[in-house]
Amino acid sequence: MSETLPTNHDQHLRAIEALYSGHHGWLYATLKRKLGNAMDAADLAQDTFARILASQVTVFEQPRAYLSCVAKGILINWYQRKALERAYLDALDNLPPQEAPSPETHFVVLETLHEIDAMLDALPPLVKRAFLLSQLNGLKYQDIADQLDVSLITVKRYMKQAFVQCLMLVE
């Protein structure tokens, strides 16, 4: 009978299992201390391990430093998401009660806002800034070029890149 060699996938799963069993409690406690909320800390700890599981990393030389780095990115996204939700809820508070959206619409709008936010975060910083200056501030392309200290053709390229990203989100 021949012995089968472990696959990279098997090695990856064993590495993640060891990382989880050895450091989940520490990560959860760290997040709970930062957030002051056990449920959010548990969710973010699970999200951290899910992201690592989706990666191809199999060796963790400094596991807590690695976990901290991954969790920090997830925590930043979580804070951005909460800030976006607060801004939306604040805007709703200013509406007359009869114009308030239904719970279903409320959910769809929040999900759409999160998708747009994620799309914008995927853009390079100058492309994102040019797009926001155009779409939120209503600046003309030449004004954006002056403000960003780039050429007009560069702003046009930035805008094309942003609009292509928007179209991919719609599809």
List the domain boundaries for the chain.
8-101, 123-171
Per-residue pLDDT of the chain (171 residues; tens, 9 = 90+): 445 445 677 887 888 898 999 999 999 999 999 999 999 999 999 999 998 888 877 777 898 999 999 999 889 888 888 887 888 888 888 878 788 788 888 788 888 878 877 888 888 889 988 988 888 788 999 999 999 999 999 999 999 998 898 888 776
With tokens 């089968």, the residue in question is 4
Q: For the whole model, what pTM was predicted?
A: 0.63
pLDDT of residue 93: 80
The CA distance from 49 to 70, in Å, is 9
Q: How far apart are CA 105 and CA 133, in angstroms?
A: 28
Sorted by sequence, the CB contacts under 8 Å of residue 168 that are 6+ apart come out as: 119
Give 96-139 as a DSSP string: -GGGPPPHHHHHHHHHHHHHHHHHHHHS-HHHHHHHHHHHTT--
